[in-house]
Chain A
């Protein structure tokens, strides 16, 4: 992956590039500050803070990919991007550094969290797995639906269903903790399952990506 390509892809987003950064570095810290004030002390606010974080961080992991891949999937003359790139048709080499760049920013936020709370490393691992799940699912959906916007909307619907609808099915398919304190056991069981599912989505995504022009 060429850093220059990543830089130019971000540059093409103009102000929309800063939306995830606004949420990570301004919106969430301000919201968290309000929650700490509301709870009375930092320790009591733990559940509230990480419940809010998982509402925004995983979904926003697909924001940059959605906007950048609008060019690759529905841009005028997008086929030129699939035939002149000697690295091939599969665009994982572009998605991976975008994902990594986002995770670095999430890491900075969680580094800040670690000053005030313990168990942040497990929360960070959980969040990375959630982001990976959203990116893999989104990647697969955008090449199936041939639209990154539809893919993003479907991810949003999944999030709304699993966070706001309290039913057995919604709980079963939910990748969110919805206010539970994350444990090593949950990482090794529930999140390992979601990791395997994410890998399956990624494999299907690669297959659909390869056949986008076939």
Chain B
């Protein structure tokens, strides 16, 4: 189990993480929050990239700062990935394999297995610079999977990807998730809806809510309404979206008090927005 206990992180006087506490068992977790919420900072603390000001991160009860082997157990895909573009796909992964201290004898098998998962086996001898953006992203995922780490952290893995590549990412995730702690940081709610067991919602450096998808959806229970455009709406309500229905434009509203006469079934996005907006 990976536990973050009362974590504080500041850059000079700017507090970015404030008293963050979460515990993660094997499973897939979505780390949701708006831009600047502190997701990347939390992730960088988890992978020991950042020095923490206060608090502790423990893995299986051991402080990760004191555990030098911890990093060998972590796979990390940063927001942008595009290193060593003049190497072939194989050599590129070999570079990371050497850094991860994968034994020479099992290196080739390990690289091929990872390329198989991300569907890049046919590109093994191609230069990274010749791959498309989506393929480079998949190479980044392969890099994170090398060495079969127990903890895998993806920072905005689907940002800038087309729908097909996003679907492919979800398929990869379902292939690798067994017995692993996987954290996916994103601000795209629909990405986590399909594949996450739990959600962590962050805002301004604090954890607003931690729970299962069902628990997040329950936060919007009885708070989602549909009204025709032009109906008076209290300023405290939040317009989730506007769409055409039977030739009429209607609004999906989040409100703590009933609005109009049609209540809707909530989604994760509704739950997320209710938490973010304090509805």
Contacts and interface: CB of A to CB of B under 8 A. Distances in A.
A80 B44 contact: no
Interface residues of B, number: 34
Contacts of A83: 44, 47-49, 71, 74, 76
B95 A8 contact: yes
A213 interface: yes
A40 interface: no
Interface stretch (A47-55, A69-77, A117-125): A69-77
A164 interface: no
A82 B76 CA distance: 11
B109 interface: no
Contacts of B143: 80
B257 interface: no
Given A79-B78, A83-B49, A13 B83 contact: no
Given A13-B86, A85-B99, A86-B68, A4 B94 contact: yes
A39 to B, nearest CB: 43
B143 to A, nearest CB: 7
Given A76-B80, A213-B49, A214-B50, A84 B99 contact: yes
A5 interface: yes
Interface in B82-124: 82-87, 91, 94-96, 98-101
A14 B86 contact: yes
Contacts, number: 83
Contacts of A5: 95, 98-99
Most chain A CB within a 10 A radius of its CB, from B74, B91, B95:
B95
Contacts of B69: 86
Most chain B CB within a 10 A radius of its CB, from A5, A8, A79, A84:
A84
The size bracket of the interface on A is 20 to 34
Contact of B98 (A4, A14, A79, A213): A4
A16 to B, nearest CB: 9
A77 B76 CA distance: 10
A75 B79 CA distance: 12
B72 A86 contact: yes
A214 B41 CA distance: 11
Given A4-B94, A11-B91, A214-B50, 14 more contacts: A4-B98, A5-B99, A8-B84, A8-B94, A8-B95, A11-B86, A14-B86, A75-B82, A76-B81, A80-B77, A84-B76, A84-B96, A86-B68, A213-B44
Interface of B: 44, 47-51, 68-69, 71-72, 74-87, 91, 94-96, 98-101, 140, 143
